[in-house]
Amino acid sequence: MRVVNARPNALAVAALELQPADEVLELGCGPGHAISLMAEQVPHGTIHAIDPSAAMLAQARARNRESCDSGRVHLYRAKAEQLPFASGSMDKILAVNVAYFWREPKAALREIRRVLRPTGILSIYVTDASTMRRWPFAGEETHRLFDRAKLERELRDSDFRVDTVAITNIRITRRIAGLITTATAKPL
């Protein structure tokens, strides 16, 4: 999975247009690959990352030990539907391959919107529903599937500025289609 996830992570991180002093939050950091990418680009800011799995957080910490030890990266066991951060505290938020697991997507997006600063940027990557329907492990009984229209509708209904929602179709491999979505928060 690391090889297949490398391109979505790189594209979604690039879409954030990170600045050296940004406060960044990654949702569902898994083993911490995107944290490493972001830490290189945010030398004067802070990367916060959540995951509901203690095992994934341990891997992320091991992979990013130096950044964690220096205080530039902070890891938390949490879920997107209940973020342990103050309102308006993040400049950028990254979510790669995690929206499928949000029990309440609208609640997760509202919570994301709550912690995102006005004009902050959210970057989401999901594998397109058309691809996921072919995978026996990723049916609608285990994963929430997204196509372009559903992703845009979820963001619009969660106080993101529709005029700034950009959804790009990408090819990860010949057989895997994905969507990179960016959105800017409406001022509260």
Tell me how many domains the chain contains: 1
CATH of the domain at 154: 3.40.50.150
Residue 92 has pLDDT above 90, yes or no: yes
Residue 112 phi/psi, 5-degree rounding, is -60, -45
Q: Dihedral sign for Cα 181, 112, 60, 39, please.
A: positive
The confidence band for 4, taking pLDDT boundaries of 50, 70 and 90, is low
**Average pLDDT of span 88-107:** 93
Write the pLDDT tens digit of every residue in 103-160: 888 899 989 999 999 889 999 999 999 998 898 887 777 888 999 999 888 888 887 7
32 Rama sector, left if φ>0, alpha if ψ -120 to 50, beta otherwise = left
H or E stretch including 37?
helix 33-41
Is 25 in contact with 48 (CB distance < 8 Å)? yes
Q: Name the amino acid, one letter, at 82.
A: Q
Residue 162 has pLDDT above 70, yes or no: no
How high is the pLDDT of residue 137? 85
- Range of 132's domain? 2-184
How high is the pLDDT of residue 140? 74
